[in-house]
Each structure stands twice: as structure tokens, then as C-alpha cells.
A and B are shown apart, each in its own frame.
Chain A
Amino acid sequence: MSFELHLRDADLPSLVRESESCTESDVERALGKEHLQLVDLLALLSPAASRCLEPMAQRARALTLQRFGRTILLYAPIYVSNECTNRCAYCSFAVQNDVPRTTLTLEQAEAEAEFLRAEGFRHVLIVSGESRRAAPPESFAALIRRIRPWAANLTLEVYPLEEREYAMLVDAGADGVTLYQETYDRTVYAQVHPAGRKADYGYRLAALERAGRAGMARLNVGALLGLHPWRSEALAIALHASWLMKHFWRSQVAVSFPRLRHGPSGYQPAFPVSDRDLVQMMTAMRLFLPDAGIVLSTREPAHLRNALIPMGVTQMSAGSKTEPGGYTMPCEEGAQFSVEDRRSAAQIARLIVQAGYEPVWKDWDRGLSKGAAA
């Protein structure tokens, strides 16, 4: 059964109602368990649990420490293209927005990668808008082959691909795929993605399954928080992550909680997510999925990122530029989202040390990538 059917059977609206009726004693029971079931997750995401954030955070910290140690992995994105055929209501890259459009040449993209390498990064995320003409899958493969000799880990955050295309990228040396569903709610999804290839909800939802079948070692799920009530999205993320873990047991599954702030032309998220909500969601996810990576990007402001370090985060971006060529030929007008945390990679690394953690620049190896076999 596909995840799409699994999600339909799970009946999110009724799960949300069940969560909303949980009591503090349900939360206490969940906090006392070693292996959590779905009912326990419902309790941890409930309004009742919002009064138990401290014990949830303490437990999240202890579990993360045990499983991942006192370490935070650092990575940085390379935006290779902001050309896009989609009309996402919330995104700066959407076709209707008047921003300077750039697609990097292979040499320009490699220069960006070299910049990150000099900063110390060995984990690189390749990001692109959805334009198969401007940035075809082969262009990602070409970049991967260029930087594979020194990059420890290469993941992609690009438009959904066919299974054979993911397999081609695995052969080139790709280690993983990050793909947010944006929202798991079909109706809202259709409203905010009115046109373009992205209008196909099911094709996007099944992309990580295609990536898993193609042998991607890392699968990263998430939703763009603010499009739909967060409790429902958090449940869907948890169901998606655990479904992927079960079906692609060789792949590491990670989750992200990107929050929508303000978009182009005054776009305001319909369901803003507060810091408290974010903490509840993140710690509940850690308790439910002790082994999942939790990724925190520079979308979040510095003070919040500092505070979130001990609550289950395993991986952070740092010093990020979200426009193509941002590191070597900066022009912020073409950026996808506003980077709230503008500290440099070195500053972030120092901060992690101050928090009592080790900033880790390398936690994978090209020898573990299929691209190295060639």
C-alpha cells in the first residue's frame, strides 16, 4: 500500500479530534513509556500537553543525547536555480513574482560549493526551483559528480522526480532527498498550488517512496507550517516518517519543521505557528521517533535556534544563502526565503560549542555513496 492510501485510512481529521480531547493524564502516560504508540503521540500533540512542555523537552533532550550524543551536524545549501514554473501562493520563486531569475552554470555552482568547502562544510544540500528546462535532473548529477570527491554527504531538495531519475542521481553519488509536502491537506494543497506540475498532490506525496526505492540513503520529510493547522500537519509528518522507516528500513529518515513567516506581496500564513507550538511539535516528534534526524534551518531566528539546540535537533544549516550564486556573487533579491539567522558558519559553530555540543562537519563519507564505486 502506498503512503497516500495509508494516510487516507488514517483519517487525519478524526485523529486531530482525538488529540484535542486528550487529558493531562494521557500526556503523563505517554511521557512514562519507552516505546510510544500513535495514541501517545496524539496525547503529546494535544492542547493538554502544551502545559507539559518542560517535561517533554527534558525527555526529548535525554533521548537525543543517548541516540545522537552531544553533537549537531552542520550543512549548507547551494541554490542552483530559482527559475520555477509553479504558482505557489507563499513562495518567492513562484512564476508570477518579479524577481531576478538565475540558473547557475556548472562552473558557477561548483564555485559556490568550493566556497562552502572553504568554510568547512562537507554536507551539502543542492536546492532548485521547479524548472526542468533550466535545471534538469542531469544538471544535478553533473554537479554531484564534480563535488563528490570532497563532499562527505550530498542531498537534494528539488522538484519531485521519477524513480529512474532518482536512481541516476544515486549512481552519480547522491545520498538523500529532502522533499516537503508543504501541506498534507488536499484541499489546502489545491488552493495554494493552483497550477504548474506541483498541482499534482499525489505525485509529490509519493516522491520519497520513489527515492527510497531508488536507494537514497536519507529521506527527509516536512510540511511548510502555517498553511493548515499544525496539529494535523505534525501528525501527518509523523505518519509519513514512520511509514518510510518501515518500508525503506535501510534509509535514515529525518523531519523538518519549516515555518512560513511572510511571503512575497504580503502573503500571510493562514495558521501561524507559535514558538510554543514549534517546541511541542519538535519534542513530541522526538519522543515518538527517537531515531529520526530533526533538521533546523536558518529560517528560524538566532535566539530560537540557540534555545532549540538541546531539544532534539540533530542537524542545522548555517551561514545559508537562499539565492543562486549567493555565496560567490550575492544579490539577495532572488532569495527564496528570508534568512532569519544571519550568523556565519563559524559563529554558529562557536554557539554550538557554548551550548555544550560539538559542531560536526562530517558524519558520512563518499565511500558510503554509490557514486564512489565507479
Chain B
Amino acid sequence: MDPTSLQEPLVIAGRTFQSRLLVGTGKFSSAATMRRAADACAAEIVTVALRRVDLDNPQDDMLGALAGGRFLILPNTSGARDADEAIRLARMARAAGLEPWIKLEVTPDPRWLLPDPMETLRAAEVLVKDGFVVMPYIQADPVLARRLEEVGCATVMPLGAPIGSNKGVRTRDSIQIILEGASVPVVVDAGLGAPSHAAEAMEMGASAVLVNTAIATARDPVEMARAFRLAVESGRAAWRAGLPGARESAEASSPLTGFLR
């Protein structure tokens, strides 16, 4: 694919998306506000915590609010403390009729919600073999990203900072290494607290970003969703255009090698 094409879409597991902004559905003041925000930023992938939806209830608020949209509903395993729980949740979601895509979150520590690398890898192996499109949430660990890619994950989703921290791309150097090595899309997930953070991740060459808290808890979530959309587009355009890169010092006006000419 021509990386300079303006229309180059995001492709995950053979499926094409125009939007590079994935959004979460938690923390909103209502399901209706969540839907308006998702529409405002033209998101095509919306992640839903399985713990929050009642799969047995056809009138579930969250799924009801997303109905009729052009969204891929990406269920996530938020709350799972080990691989077995995550695998069980994923299978329950598929059995209830959701598409076999799963945002794999294994976070044994309920305080920081940081991912467990060993359990995540173990669950990913099982779920990939089971036919799921697996998108694991991970620490920005380049070796783990490679390992997950090797077992067949469709993306890797390294965190910029702890979930809900709004601190931005604090793991920048490690994410850079992941971006250079990855053959699957890299989605920077968690910690992006402002549109400028999302733009930064996209400028670095991330394939996409996932945002929830910063949109959901803004004074005006719909307007903030729109702002994130613009930032993601702008960051992507900057990356395509080729950022000149910062320099530590001014260029000498009398180059040392000038005599070679």
C-alpha cells in the first residue's frame, strides 16, 4: 500500500476502517451521550466492557444505544484477572451473538488496571486458536508485542500511560520500538488525556488510538470527541507528510566537509 495515499485505510484482520480513532464506552453520564460522542468522532470501532453489558437482556442500554450504527462492537474483557476469566468472557460474548473480535484485557490489579503480560499471552494463544480476532492491551513492551504478533494477534495495543490517567504518551520510547518492529497495526491505548496526546501518537506512526476517559469525562463529551477526531486526522497527516524531526543545534553555516565539493 502506498503510505502517502490520502485515503489509506486502517486494516485489521482483513477488515477496512476509515477511522483511526477507536472509542470506549465507559464513564459516560448516559448511553445516549456515549452514542452521540461516538457519532461525533466518526468512530467505527467501539469497545464495550462485557462486565457492563447484559448479554441476556435484549434491551440492554449500552448495546441498544449502539444499535443501528455502522460500528464494529469490540467487546473487551475488562475485569478479567487471569487468562481463564478472559477466555470465558470472550466465549460468552461470542455465544451471545457478538462478532468474534475481542479486546483482550487481563488486569489483575484493580487499582492501576495494568495488564498482566504472562496471562495476556496465554489467553491470546488460546483465543487465536479458537478463531477470535484478538487485540491485546499491553504494556509498551516491544518483546511482548512481538510474541503476541507471533501467536497471531490482529493488533497490539500498548498503553501510553495507565488507564484513565490522562497523562499522555509517557511510554514514548518503547512505543517507538514497537512501531518500528510491528507487522500488525499498533493501536495506542490508554492514558491519552488530550487531543494533542492523540496527535502525538499518530505523528509517531501509530496505526490508530483508543480514547475513553478523556472524552467521557469532558465537560462536553461530544465536542471533545470531535476534537479527538481532528487530532487523529492531523497527526496521521503529519506522519504521512514526513515530519522534519527536531534538531539539537543549528546547522553550521560553514560546513566542515564543504571542501569536498
Q: Which residues of A contact B (CB under 8 A)?
A: 65-71, 122, 150, 152, 217, 245, 249-252, 291, 353, 356-358, 360-365, 367-368, 372-373
Contact = CB atoms under 8 A, between A and B. Distances in A.
B147 interface: no
Interface in B166-218: 166, 213, 216-217
The interface residues of chain B, by DSSP majority, are classed as loop
24 contacts: A66-B164, A69-B27, A69-B216, A70-B216, A122-B54, A152-B51, A217-B81, A245-B111, A249-B111, A250-B108, A291-B112, A353-B30, A357-B29, A358-B30, A362-B52, A362-B53, A363-B51, A364-B79, A365-B89, A367-B85, A368-B79, A368-B88, A373-B84, A373-B88
A66 B79 contact: no
B28 interface: yes
A250 B81 contact: yes
B244 interface: no
B111 to A, nearest CB: 4
Contacts of B88: 367-368, 372-373
A245 B108 CA distance: 12
B57 to A, nearest CB: 9
Contacts of B111: 245, 249, 291
Contacts of B92: 365, 367
A367 B50 CA distance: 9
Interface of B: 26-31, 50-54, 56, 79-81, 84-85, 88-89, 92, 108-112, 164, 166, 213, 216-217
A373 B92 CA distance: 12
Among B79, B109, B111, B216, find the residue whose CB has the most chain A CB atoms closer than 10 A: B111
B132 to A, nearest CB: 15
B164 A250 contact: no
Contacts of A122: 54
A150 B88 CA distance: 16
A144 B124 CA distance: 31
Contacts of A372: 88
B110 A368 contact: no
Contacts of A361: 54
Among B31, B51, B166, find the residue whose CB has the most chain A CB atoms closer than 10 A: B51
B55 to A, nearest CB: 9
A68 to B, nearest CB: 7
